[in-house]
Structure 1
């Protein structure tokens, strides 16, 4: 009767296990997945890695723009120095200032900037795929952890039922012992069986607590979750797809494959970026500048004056001094603004840099990028081969689990009938405790094996759903 109830609970309806349905709220697998997608730290780390790739892509895109730089200096010097206005030596306190604006843009660099942009664009797309990969992996991990909790929860129920049956039988024998009509050997055998069953309950509860802790770790939430709240509709119908079909679907649906394909393309672009070191670089440049000096003066005409030159003219034996007229000028400082306007200068031109010899740096850079490209190709091929192997193994495990489940169903039914007969005979005193305990243990172990086979099938089926891209996100 019990096996029929179990079949009905697991195959035909939702598996709900609550201590008090009025006080607890059921939590579905989808609800757990949504919690994990919101709070899981591994997924947040993947988001941050993708953000880094996005910033690098923006930086390489902005490298197409010209560079514009401005600088401004203002200083004070004492002692002997060069006047930046006249380029002559002065020995005084000097205030000086200059400003400059430079513009530079690359016309040709062996397409290094363009290939770097394409490479970072591929890396950005790969990072976005890696976020999706992390989401898919998280959904699978939560699903498998959720099923593990249900499995251990059911094993706890079986262990507790097993203990109750043993205790009931021990209580019956205890009463017979008090009436001095019971078999002491059977009584002590049942005492040992009760201890064994209690140990099994403790182990099952510990496994359940660990599985629930693993699930909570994935969810990363402070929300209290009890195993009794988890609910899932279970279906053990055989699958209609094949391992090859699942593999082909995985190649198109798994973000892990797409991410590694994009990384391979990005690595190939890295080779083109490195080859740009062989090409000349052609740039346009333009510079604008001006300066100021406190030593600069403006001289204005203030008339003339007669001054002796120091020369003499002899006439009739008499020396006469020579005089000349020289201009008079008044010096006045030139304002900061006027100097900046008057001292403007500019330059423009083309710059060409031709690589001739750089210690084989370009050659080694290209070779390193080729190695990176080959490594990315190998990683992609390894991923595909491992994927095919895992799918084939999972499909074999699925078929084995389904066959075992059907066999164990029949085994449980047989052991149920055997135990019913042995229990009746033991209660009537026509069978030994050894036969009773053996029959009981056979049934209990068969029920445990049946539960494990059921969840082995469900776990493997979910893994194949993940590979085939059918797990709900």
Structure 2
């Protein structure tokens, strides 16, 4: 996340920037950053992770509300079964139905719900900081890759210019060879130099294509982007920065640090959540229910009738049957809605769940959360230490690049004069090809080293700007 200085290893060499693209085709660093912020997949993944944390926070907030559940059943039973209306056994086809409503709310649970809410709020804030961290890292990555493309683009131009110069000298020597007045050794030396310069052009183009591919990968867009379209105003101004000053700014501005701090606070809340398992849980409940049975009947009076009882009385030796009066009733089915209204029942009360022994689950849960808290603290400390180390290294690289730039300016001026003299002498035939090629390579390498120092300064300066919370364009 912070070790961006490794990007410098990819910069083999470069030249100063020149504008050569049409204005309508230009693509600035800011435009590239905006494209990346819209399309980059890593940034989208960070956004999805934050959405997950947001949903979990909403869920923990909703846990403060009572739970309300309703149920409804309708069934058909055959054979011996219990009539839900009378709770007696029946042996017939039975249609039954019941409905219920239950309400439950937690009055006290050792502040588990409240602490979970606070923990998830901190995790949500940390996830939002991690989105900003991904944004900041993406901006820096695009910036460094953008500069890398510019470097290799100028390297291609330099290699092509070197090739043109070598070919011009080779053509001059070839004419001398045809006139049989040239030096064969110098001619073949220049042939070898042309082949070497052609290889350098090929390598430079390959490096440029790879750098452009890396930039397009970060942008993740179907838009056609060519190296010639990229433009950036480069500055080489020494800025007043100190390691401690940049570090303090980074602690306040870098989302990576803030995210780790929030994760540490959330882990501390996790310990309080786990400790709630030691406390009783008190809940308030209420239930409402009703039922229906097709076996239920309403009996209506239908008069009386005289029936034999089966008994006899004997009078004077004669048996007489005994009769009795019994009531008549019509069994009428009870309507579905009437049964639901008549069978309403309700219950309400308080539930207390006291933990006595649970296989040390509560104790182990607390210990695990303490480990998570300590791990979050270590991660935060590691982040700060790595940040301080990277800032120190980057600052040292910045100072070295600044000094090297001034040293190499003197070297370029010296080699320019040396090459001018050797070129004149070589064209006049009073110097060897070896001296000419050596002088030419010395000048080319000095120019490359000078530009390397400039871009090393620019890159390290951009990295320090990133740590300081400054937008690098």
Structural RMSD (CA)? 1.5
Contact 1:74-1:98 at 8 Å conserved across structures: yes
Partner of 2:275: 275
Match of 2:20 in 1: 17
Residue 465 of structure 2 contacts residue 472 of structure 2 at CA under 8 Å; is this kept in 1?
no
- 1:57-100 Cα deviation digits (max 9, x unpaired): 11111111111111111111111211111112211111111111
Residue 4 of structure 1 corresponds to none
Which residue of 2 is the match for residue 440 of structure 1?
Answer: 440
| 2-structure distance, mates of 1:15, 1:316 | 146
Aligned to 2:179: 179
Say which SS state the counterpart of residue 68 (structure 1) adopts.
strand
Q: Distance in 2 between matches of 1:15 and 1:392?
A: 32
Q: Show the counterpart of 1:255.
A: 255
Instruction: Please report how far the alpha carbon of residue 148 of structure 1 lies from its aligned counterpart in structure 2 after TM superposition.
Output: 0.6
2:381 maps to 381
> Do residues 361 (structure 1) and 361 (structure 2) align?
yes
In 2, the alpha carbon distance for the partners of 1:449 and 1:437 equals: 18
Per-residue Cα deviation, 1:398-446 (whole angstroms, up to 9, x for no partner): 0001111111111111000000000111111111111111101100111
Between the aligned partners of 2:109 and 2:311, the Cα distance in structure 1 is: 69
Name the stretch that deviates more: 285-294 or 155-164.
155-164
Contact 1:57 1:120 in 2 (8 A): yes
- Match of residue 5 from structure 1: none
Report SS of the residue matched to 2:25: coil
Instruction: Indicate the residue corresponding to 1:111 in structure 2.
Output: 111
Equivalent residues of 1:398, 1:461 under 8 A apart: yes
The alignment status of 1:450 with 2:450, answered yes or no, reads yes
Pairing of 1:274-293 with structure 2 (within 5 A): 274-293=274-293
Query: Equivalents in 2 of 1:131, 1:326: separation in Å?
Result: 87
2:166 corresponding residue in structure 1: 166
SS of match in other structure, 1:285: strand
Q: Within the alignment, does 1:133 sit opposite 2:133 as a pair?
A: yes
Residue 188 of structure 1 corresponds to 188
Any idea what SS the aligned residue of 1:16 has? coil
CA deviation after TM superposition for structure 1 residue 310, in Å: 4.0
**Counterpart check, 1:97 vs 2:74:** no
Contact 1:146/1:215 (8 A) holds in 2: yes
- Give the Cα–Cα distance (whole angstroms) in 2 for the partners of residues 116 and 317 of structure 1: 94
Q: Distance in 2 between matches of 1:459 and 1:207?
A: 18
1:459 is matched with which residue?
459
Alignment-derived partner of residue 7 in structure 2: none
Alpha-carbon contact 1:166-1:193 (below 8 Å) kept: yes
Q: Which ranges in structure 1 are unaligned for 5 or more consecutive residues? A: 1-8
Contact 1:154–1:451 (Cα < 8 Å) also in 2: no
Q: Secondary structure at the match of 1:233?
A: coil
Are 2:284 and 2:350, in contact at CA under 8 Å, matched by a contact in 1?
yes
Write the distance in 2 (CA, Å) between the matches of 1:310 and 1:472: 112
1:332 paired with 2:342, answer: no
Structure 2 match to 1:233: 233
> 1:149 — aligned with what?
149
Instruction: Say whether the 8 Å CA contact 1:264–1:373 is kept in structure 2.
Output: yes
Aligned to 1:419: 419
CA contact (8 A) 2:305 2:328 kept: yes
Task: Tell me the alpha carbon deviations over residues 310-361 of structure 1, each in whole angstroms, 9 at most, x when there is no partner.
Answer: 4455667766554433221111111111111111111111111101100011
Provide the secondary structure at the position in 2 that maps to 1:263: helix
Aligned residue for 1:3? none
C-alpha separation between the residues in 1 aligned to 2:64 and 2:87? Answer: 39
Following the alignment from structure 1 to structure 2, what is the Cα–Cα distance between the partners of residues 472 and 246? 15
Gaps of 5+ in 2: 1-14
Distance, in Å, in 2 between the alignment partners of 1:87 and 1:215 is: 77
1:52-67 correspondence runs (5 A): 52-67=52-67
In structure 1, C-alpha distance between the alignment counterparts of 2:352 and 2:319, rounded to whole Å: 69
Structure 1 range deviating more: 217-226 or 310-319: 310-319
Q: What is the rounded CA distance, in whole Å, between the counterparts of 2:259 and 2:332 in structure 1?
A: 73
Query: TM-score when scaled to structure 1?
Result: 0.94
CA distance in 1, matches of 2:245, 2:215: 31
* Distance in structure 2 (CA, Å) of the matches to 1:307 and 1:229: 114
CA contact (8 A) 2:174 2:187 kept: yes
TM-superposed CA distance for 1:17, in Å, is 3.0
Counterpart CA distance in 2 for 1:257 and 1:450 is 36
Q: In the alignment, which residue of structure 2 is the partner of 1:51?
A: 51
Moved more, 162-171 or 251-260: 162-171
1:205-224, Cα deviation, whole Å (9 max, x unpaired): 11111111111111111111
The answer to whether the Cα contact below 8 Å between 1:158 and 1:447 also exists between their aligned partners in 2 is no
Q: How many angstroms apart in 1 are the aligned matches of 2:358 and 2:312?
A: 71
Deviates more, 1:324-333 or 1:380-389: 324-333
